[in-house]
Structures are given as C-alpha cells and as structure tokens.
Amino acid sequence: MTTQESNQREGKLRDLLILVPYVKQHQLNLWLSIALMIISSVISIALPMFIRRAVDVHIMGYDLPGLLLLTSIAFGLILVTTSANIFRGRLMAKLGQNSIRALRDDLFAYMQRLPVKFFDKIPVGKLITRLTSDVDALRDLVGNAIVSMVIDTLRLTGFLALMFWLDWRLTLITLTLAPILVFALTFLTARIRKAEDQVREQASLVNANLQESISGIRVIQGFQAEDYFHEQFKIEDYNLLRAGMRAVATYAYFWPTIDLSWLLSTAAIFYFGGQWVMDGTATPGDLVAFIAYTGQFFGPLRGLSQAYRIIQRALAGAVRIKRIMATETEEKANLNPMPRITGKVEFENITFGYDPEEIVLHDISFAAEPGQTIALVGHTGAGKTSIINLLCRFYNPIQGRILVDGLDIHEHELESYRRQIGLVLQEPFLFSGTLRDNIRFGAPEATDEQIWDALETVGLAEAFTKSRITLDTILTERGANFSTGQRQLISFARALISDPRILILDEATAHVDTLTEQKVQQALAKLLAGRTSFVIAHRLSTIRNADLIIVIGDGHILERGTHEQLLAQKGEYWQLCSSQNMAQIC
C-alpha cells in the first residue's frame, strides 16, 4: 500500500478540479477577497514611492508641513490595507471552511457506500486521516493559497517594474542574488515536501495504531497486553518523530537562506547605491525607496513559496481523495429496482474468493423457498460467513449467479435489494445514541409504539420498563451499558422493525444465562416466522427446526437435508454433532 501510494502520489493540477464545484458555491467571497487583495497590494507597491518623495522632496527641502501631510496620507493608506487584510482573512477563512465542509460531507457519504471489499484493504485510522488531514490540505489551498498566488504574482511584478523604473542597475544587482533564492525555493521546498509527505504517511500509521488499540482496549487490558501495544505505538510514534525532525531540520535552512539573500542584496545596494548617490546618478530617496522595495520584494516570494507547498500538499490530498471517489461503488448504472420479493433464494454454481487467487467457496448451489429457515453449519473457516457476505452483496462472486425470486441480484439496484434484507450479526452493531435511534435505524419512519411492540415481541419491554429504560436512554459506544443478551435482543428488535423478507443471522455463541437464552429462543422464533432466514447456527433448537441444513466444509457443500435425514446419514453432520462442542445439539 505504502509504496503504491507514494508511486502514485504525484498529482496533476487537473486533480484540483474536484474543488471547483465546492468553491463555486462561495465564489462571491473569493472575488471579494481578490478585490481586497488588489487594493492592499497596490498600496504596498505605492508606499516606497511615498518614502522616496518624503526623502527627496520634503526632508531634503526642509518642508515639515509637506512631510506631515505625506505621512498622514501614508498613515491613512496603511489603515486601509490593514482593514482590507483583516476583512479578506475572514472572508477566505469562511470560504475555506465552508467549501471544505461540503467536500468532507460528500466524501463521508461516498465512503459509506463503498463496497465492503474496499475497507478490507485499508486500516480505519488511515481512512480517518484521509477524511481529516487530506481534506485540511485542500482547505489551506482554498482558504489561502489560491488568492495568495494571484496576488503575490501581481505584487512581485509590480515591485520589479517599479524597481527597474527607479534604478535598473540596482535591480540587476538584486537579481544577481536570485540563484540563492532559486536554490532555497526549489531544492529546499522539494526536500521539505518529501519530508512532510513522510510525516503524513507516518501520522496515518500512528492514527491506525491508536484506533486499533482504543477499540480493542477491553481485550488489551484483559490480556494485560498494554505493554505490547505500548511498544508498538512507541515504534510508530518514534518514526513519526524522526519524520517530523527531518522535516523541521530541512525547514530550518529555509528562512535563514531567504534572509541571507535579502541581507546580501541590502548590503550590495547600500554599497553600490551609496556610490551612485555620491556621484549624483541617484537620489537618497531612490536609495531608501529601493531598500524598502527589496525588503518587500521577499514578502510575495515567501508567499509564493508557501503557496507552492500548500499546492503540493493539496495535490497529494486531492489525488488520494480522488482515488477514494474513483473507487467503484457496487452499483452499475441504470439498474431496475428490486421489486418486493417473496424470498425465494437460489445460489447457482457460486465460486468465490476474497482474493481471486484463493478460492474460498467452490461451486455452491442451493435453493431456499420463501419462508424457509436454512441453517449453515460447518467447522470454523468453512465458508459460512462468506456465503452470507455474498447474499448481502458485500462482495461479488467470481462465477455463478445469486437469484432472489428468480431475479439476479447483481442485475438489480442494490439499495432496493438491501432494504429487504435484515442482518443480525454476532456482535450487534450498537452505536452511541438513543435506544430509539439504535432500533429504528433500519426503518427511520417507525413510531415509538412500533418500537415498543418490537421490544415486547423480543421480550425486553417488561424488563426495560422495570428498570426505567426509555427509548431516550442513551447507549454508550457499542452499547456497553447493556448486557450481551440485551444487546442481542435489541438487534432482534431492530431487525423486526425493518420487517425484512430475508433475514440473516450470524448467531452468537455468547454464553447467556438460561433465562435470557429462553428469551432469545422465543424472540428468535418470532423473528424467523414468515421470512426466508439464513442462520449460522450454534443453538440446538435453531438447527433442529431448520427446514434445510447445509453442511459446509472447506468451501464445499458436503451434505444437505433436515436434522433427521442428516443424522441418519451418519456423515459429516453426525460427526459434527458428536463432537464435543456440538454435543448439546443432538
């Protein structure tokens, strides 16, 4: 990933076009800022001319009132520039923040729709970095660099023009020192950019590391693996420090080099300019104004080189963001919506692997009639979850078709298909928010009454009322303030509310107490009733009552039939049943 990323890092200016629609919405801000910048630039270009006049006309002519008038005008102009700069700063910040918020929003929405496959390959922490620091790089571009580029070019041209007009000889002297600057601005910037890229790359690794150890904190503390994770973190963090130091060390040369070239040119100007004043080919005012120009000359140069860095960063960010946005969503264009289905499911010769080189499911075919319960059993790693993953269209099969009600699911619109599927996973996904939001997120229009009905059906209503849990009760992250059994039941209630035609249940092996176990069983029976259900079952009753049991081994279907049929066969299923951990089933 890393090498691939750095190979593709070079962005083209064209990549920045992704920003156009976002900036366009606030283009008034942009134009106003440019106008304000032009005003303050013209003033800053003009000010040294005031100095020149002050020296040559008023000071040399002992004209105090004239000097006062000129100084007052200059003072007024300085006030104007300062206000213009403050106002422009605010406008640009607003432009940057607003347009980037919109981009971040789109990126989030887009990311939510990316195929699950995408998330297998990239650590969460890295993705978070994309959504934050890469986007920030673009914000700096919009909020700062664009305007600065336009205006600094203008100022630079203005300064140069006036400097030539004042004294072409002195200008040429100043420019002979340009090579030092070119060196500073190109060589050093390239190095700084490389170092900063490494800092960002390393920061995203640190973030990925942080994310993993925070989300796994219970297990880490449980196993007292804190030290191990701390060591891992230290290594990544130390690398971040080193990358940061490299960037800073290179950067340390940057301003001194620029300052050095400024100081050298000032010295040269004093020496040669001083001589020309003495021999009368220049006035003292020329000399003073010229020195003021040389001082200011470096401002836009600095601005431009900063803008250059921001652009480079933004380019790298834009490329990465574009790559996310260019990742194909699952959807082919113009597919028909999936009509309301009855729930007949057929797998036709499905072959599949997460990595095409490594086949996980071999030529799987089976059919489920509407309303049937299908139990998938088999050793760990056999491919049960993979079958479910395909049915949910999280991945695409390499070969074969999946038909629902006779319709190929890949030839129909994903959204309308997924809406008819209910998923209850081993580890229920509960998020921080109210109980209400957690239950109705599959069916946002559900009323409180319907939610309580569902809670009643899964057998939670009574207990919740007793312990004063309301729909407004806030769940902590992952629902940690509820018991495992309760969490499971809450996720049943959620599935009930969305009333799916096909229900998928990756059953939890969690050890719940007998009372909860009974409740879960009852709730399960109600949940399965009237829907085509696929259960990866570990529970006796679920498997026994299934209409069809499919035994998977190593990605093949080994046996299929009902509980009695399979036991009678004395084959794989019988063996599974006899094995220790399934003993309670048979």
Q: Which residues bind Mg ion (CB under 5 A)?
A: 385
Query: Judged by CB, which is closer to ligand TTP: 316, or 360?
Result: 360
- In angstroms, the Cα distances linking 479 to 193, 430, 432, 474, 559 are 43, 5, 7, 9, 38
Is 360 a binding residue for ligand TTP by CB under 6 A? The answer is yes
Helix (H, G, I), strand (E, B) or coil at 356: coil
Partner residues linked to 336 by β-bridges: 412
Stretch of residues binding ligand TTP (CB under 6 A), selected from 60-68, 72-80, 203-211, 376-384? 376-384
Q: Which is nearer to ligand TTP, 89 or 353 (CB)?
A: 353
Q: Which of 6, 327, 385, 521 lies at the binding interface for ligand TTP (CB under 6 A)?
A: 385
Distance CA 215, CA 56 (A): 72
19 sits near ligand TTP (criterion: CB under 6 A): no
Handedness of CA 367, 372, 377, 382 (dihedral sign): positive
Choosing among ligand TTP, Mg ion, none, which partner's interface includes residue 382 (Cβ < 5 to 8 Å by kind)?
ligand TTP
Residue nearest to Mg ion (CB): 385
Cβ 538 to ligand TTP shortest distance, Å: 9
Of 58-66, 382-390, 450-458, 485-493, the segment contacting ligand TTP by CB under 6 A is 382-390
Exactly one of 334, 380, 467, 514 binds ligand TTP (CB under 6 A); which one?
Answer: 380
Judged by CB under 6 A, the residue of 384, 440, 494, 519 near ligand TTP is 384
Cα dihedral angle (29, 34, 38, 40), rounded to 10 degrees? 50
239 versus 385: smaller Cβ distance to Mg ion: 385
Task: Supply the minimum distance, in Å, between the C-beta of residue 360 and Mg ion.
Answer: 11
Q: At 402, give phi and psi (nearest 5°).
A: -115, 120
* 403 phi, psi to nearest 5 deg: -110, 140
Cβ at position 109, least distance to ligand TTP in Å: 24
The window from 101-109, 231-239, 381-389, 449-457 that contacts ligand TTP (CB under 6 A) reads 381-389
For residues 488 and 429, what is the distance between their CA atoms, to the nearest angstrom? 9
Name 289's Cβ contacts closer than 8 Å, sequence gap at least 6.
48, 49, 51, 52, 55, 166
Give the DSSP per-residue string, 259-320.
HHHHHHHHHHHHHHHHHHHHTTSS-HHHHHHHHHHHHHHHHHHHHHHHHHHHHHHHHHHHHH
Q: Binding to ligand TTP by residue 103, rule CB under 6 A?
A: no
What is the DSSP-derived secondary structure letter of residue 134?
Answer: I
Told to check if 378 binds ligand TTP by CB under 6 A, we report yes
Task: Please tell me whether residue 479 binds ligand TTP under the rule CB under 6 A.
Answer: no
Smallest gap from Cβ 381 to ligand TTP, in A, equals 4
Smallest separation, CB 387 to ligand TTP (Å)? 7
Minimal distance, residue 382 CB to ligand TTP, in Å: 4
Q: Which of residues 386-405 bind ligand TTP (CB under 6 A)?
A: 386
Report the partner that residue 295 touches, choosing among ligand TTP, Mg ion, none (CB closer than 5 to 8 A by kind): none
Told to check if 381 binds ligand TTP by CB under 6 A, we report: yes
Identity (one letter) of the amino acid at 255? Answer: W
Q: To the nearest whole angstrom, how small is the minimum distance from the Cβ of residue 412 to ligand TTP? A: 24
The single residue among 383, 397, 459, 479 that binds ligand TTP, judged by CB under 6 A, is 383
**Per the structure block, which two tokens stand in for 111?**
């990311």
For residue 299, give the amino acid letter: G
Query: Which is nearest to 318 in space by CA: 117, 140, 89?
Result: 140
Considering the complex, state which of residue 257 and residue 426 has its C-beta at the smaller distance from Mg ion: 426
Q: Which does 339 bind (CB under 5 to 8 A by kind): Mg ion, ligand TTP, none?
A: none
Q: In what order do the strands lie in the sheet with 399-404?
A: 361-368, 345-352, 399-404, 407-408
Residue 445, helix vs strand vs coil: coil
Give whichever of 137 and 557 is closer to Mg ion, judged by the CB atom: 557
Residues 296-355 that bind ligand TTP (CB under 6 A): 354
How many residues at the interface with ligand TTP, by CB under 6 A?
10
Residues 6+ apart with CB under 8 A from 178: none
By CB under 6 A, tell whether 2 contacts ligand TTP. Answer: no
Greatest pairwise CA separation for the chain in angstroms: 120
Tokens, residue 268: 């040269």
Residues in contact with ligand TTP by the rule CB under 6 A: 354, 360, 378, 380-386
